[in-house]
Amino acid sequence: MSSPHYRPPQQARSRESLQKVLTSAEHVLSAGGLDDFTVAAVAEHAGVSVGAIYRRFPGKEQLLEAVKDQLLETLETDVREALSSAAPDLRSVVVAFTGAMADAFAGHTRAFPELLSVQSAEGAERGLRALDVVQRAFVDAARPHLEPDAGDAVRFAARSVIGACVHRAASCQAWPDGLGWDQWASRTADMALAYLGAEV
């Protein structure tokens, strides 16, 4: 992982220590939200000194950005892997895409809304880049199973799934829909397939 928000570690032990800090940071954020998110709380959970975190990160804003960057990298990787292992038909591709999106957000239902609420301009740009990556991955996987002129429809379907997923993650605590993430993924896949079937 490479990020402008901290000095990247060079040694395996240092990478493990950084991962421990980022995992603890996400835990603290998920458990108590931004109000309880402090470098001291992260250090305590990770079992490291506050100084060890400050040697890596200038402040808690950079630590938050690093957590977000890691989650977005995981999202990109998980979507690519799910699409590459999907069976070669449109339904399998759409189901793999919605499932991967749901899985990425399901494990971080408290962290994502908190991170989305404090985005810097740079953080928002990184988020948009990640969404573009997953959109392109879906379009590339779905396009061989559709008519050659279906590009606009495929991109619209991708953006609709992505937008619905991000919105659900951002609002599910305050505005629950009564569905599990797996149910959401299944229904969203059916909706995307119905749209694509009607448009192409």
84-136 per-position pLDDT tens digit: 999 999 999 999 999 999 999 887 877 877 777 666 777 788 888 999 999 99
Query: With 0-12 CB in 10 A as exposed, 13-18 as middle and 19+ as buried, what is 22?
Result: buried
Length of the chain: 200
Tokens in use for 199?
């448009």
Q: What per-residue string of b and e applies to 154-187 under the rule 16 or more CB within 10 Å gives b?
A: bbebbeebbebbbebbbebeeeeeeeebeebbbe
Cα R_g (the chain), whole angstroms: 18
Residue 109 vs residue 55, higher pLDDT: 55
Task: Say if residues 53 and 7 touch (Cβ distance below 8 Å).
Answer: no
136-179 per-position pLDDT tens digit: 999 999 999 999 999 999 999 999 999 999 889 888 778 899 99
Distance CA 138, CA 159 (A): 10
Residue 199 has a pLDDT of 72
Distance CA 138, CA 141 (A): 5
**What one-character-per-residue DSSP string does 136-169 give?**
HHHHHHHGGGS-TT-HHHHHHHHHHHHHHHHHHH
Placement of tokens 């490291």 in the chain: 48
Q: Tell me the pTM.
A: 0.87
